[in-house]
C-alpha cells in the first residue's frame, strides 16, 4: 500500500512540475496577461478593501474623501497629497480610491448578469430552435438596438440618478451580445457526435445543456466577458460624467472628470488623474482578456 502511494506521488510530482513549467513558459511568452492581471488585481483589491473598511466603520484613505479643507486649495501633487487637492481642498487621492468600488461593482454586476442571462437565452434558443429561437432572437435584436444613453436617461428620469439605477439600466440592455455569442457556440456544439449520443440515450434538453453545452461555451464566454468589463467601466464612467450616477459630494471617477474639467489649465491633475484611472481599468481588463484568450488558444 505504501509502495502504491509512493508511486502515485512520484507520478504526480513530474506532472506538477510539468504544469508549472508550462505556466511559466506561457507567462514569458504572453506579456499581456501578467500586466492586465496586475492592474485588475490592484483595482478589485482596492475596491474590496474600501468596502470592508466601510463595513467596519474604518477608513483606509489618508483623508476623509468627503472632507473639505484638508489641504491648500488646488495644491499640486506632493507626498502629503499624492494626487493634489481640488477646488475645495479635498484630497484627490482619497476621493479616487473611495470611488473605486463604484466602477468595479457596476462592471462585475452588469457583466455577471449579462453572462448568465445571455448564456441561458442563447443556448436555449439554439437547442429549442423553431419559433422559440425566432422569437428570442428577434427580442434580442430589439433590445440590442436600444441606445444605452437614452435608456439610462429614461431610468434616471423615472427612478432618479444613482449608482443602483444606472446599474439596472445597463443590465437591461447589456445581455444581447452574450445571447448571440452563446447561441452561435451552441449551434456548433449542437451537431457534435457526443450531443447526438446524449440525445439518443434519452437525456433531456435541459440536462444536456447544463452538462454538455454550457461547459463548452463557458470558455469563449469568459474571454468575451473579461474583455467586456473594460467597456462597461468606460460606459458607466460616461454616464457618471453626464451626472446620471452618484451626485457630489460623493466621489465617482466620471463625475470627478466632469467636475474638474474646467481646471484643465489651472490644475490639470484634477481631470487627468480620474481620467487616467478609467483608462487604466479599461486597458487592464482588455489586456487580461487578450492574455486569457491567447493562453486558451495556445493550449
Domain count of the fold of the chain: 1
CATH number where 231 lies: 1.10.3720.10
- Is the residue at 258 inside a domain? yes
- Is the residue at 58 inside a domain? yes
Look up the domain containing 82 and give its range.
32-298
The pLDDT, as a whole number, for residue 71 is 87
What are 237-270's pLDDT values in tens digits?
A: 998 998 888 887 889 999 999 999 989 888 999 9
- Is the residue at 200 inside a domain? yes
Q: Report the predicted TM-score, pTM, of the whole model to 2 decimal places.
A: 0.84
- Is the residue at 20 inside a domain? no
- Is the residue at 7 inside a domain? no
What are 141-184's pLDDT values in tens digits?
A: 888 888 887 887 788 778 788 888 889 889 988 999 999 999 88
Rounded Cα distance between 104 and 39, Å, is 12
Average pLDDT, the chain: 84
- Is the residue at 15 inside a domain? no
H helix intervals, the chain: 2-29, 32-55, 92-128, 130-145, 148-159, 163-174, 176-190, 193-200, 205-208, 214-241, 253-260, 269-298
Lowest mean pLDDT among 105-109, 212-216, 276-280: 212-216
- Is the residue at 24 inside a domain? no
CA dihedral sign of residues 5, 10, 16, 22: negative
What are 49-106's pLDDT values in tens digits?
A: 999 998 888 889 999 999 998 988 989 999 999 999 998 999 999 999 999 999 999 9
- Is the residue at 18 inside a domain? no
Question: Collapsing DSSP states into helix, strand and coil, what is residue 256?
Answer: helix
Amino acid at each position: 500500500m505504501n509502495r502504491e502511494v509512493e508511486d502515485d506521488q512520484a507520478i504526480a510530482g513530474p506532472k506538477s512540475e510539468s504544469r508549472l513549467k508550462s505556466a511559466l513558459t506561457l507567462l514569458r511568452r504572453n506579456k499581456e496577461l501578467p500586466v492586465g492581471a496586475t492592474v485588475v488585481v490592484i483595482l478589485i483589491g482596492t475596491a474590496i478593501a474600501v468596502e470592508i473598511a466601510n463595513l467596519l466603520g474604518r477608513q483606509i484613505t489618508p483623508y476623509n474623501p468627503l472632507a473639505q479643507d484638508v489641504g491648500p486649495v488646488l495644491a499640486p501633487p506632493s507626498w502629503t497629497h499624492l494626487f493634489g487637492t481640488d477646488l475645495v481642498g479635498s484630497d484627490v487621492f482619497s476621493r479616487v480610491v473611495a470611488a473605486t468600488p463604484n466602477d468595479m461593482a457596476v462592471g462585475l454586476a452588469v457583466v455577471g448578469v449579462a453572462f448568465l442571462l445571455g448564456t441561458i437565452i442563447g443556448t436555449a434558443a439554439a437547442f429549442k430552435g423553431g419559433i422559440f429561437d425566432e422569437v428570442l432572437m428577434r427580442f434580442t435584436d430589439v433590445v440590442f438596438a436600444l441606445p444605452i444613453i437614452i435608456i439610462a436617461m429614461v431610468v434616471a428620469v423615472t427612478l432618479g440618478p444613482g449608482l443602483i439605477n444606472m446599474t439596472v439600466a445597463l443590465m437591461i440592455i447589456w445581455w444581447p451580445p452574450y445571447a448571440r455569442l452563446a447561441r452561435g457556440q451552441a449551434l456548433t456544439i449542437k451537431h457534435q457526435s457526443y450531443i447526438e449520443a446524449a440525445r439518443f440515450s434519452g437525456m433531456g434538453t435541459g440536462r444536456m445543456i447544463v452538462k454538455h453545452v454550457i461547459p463548452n461555451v463557458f470558455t469563449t464566454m469568459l474571454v468575451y466577458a473579461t474583455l467586456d468589463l473594460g467597456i462597461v467601466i468606460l460606459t458607466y464612467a460616461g454616464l457618471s460624467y453626464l451626472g446620471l450616477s452618484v451626485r457630489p459630494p460623493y466621489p465617482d471617477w466620471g463625475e470627478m472628470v466632469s467636475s474638474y474639467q474646467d481646471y484643465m489649465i489651472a490644475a490639470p491633475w484634477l481631470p487627468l488623474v480620474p481620467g487616467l484611472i478609467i483608462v487604466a481599468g479599461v486597458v487592464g481588463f482588455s489586456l487580461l482578456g487578450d492574455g486569457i484568450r491567447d493562453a486558451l488558444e495556445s493550449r
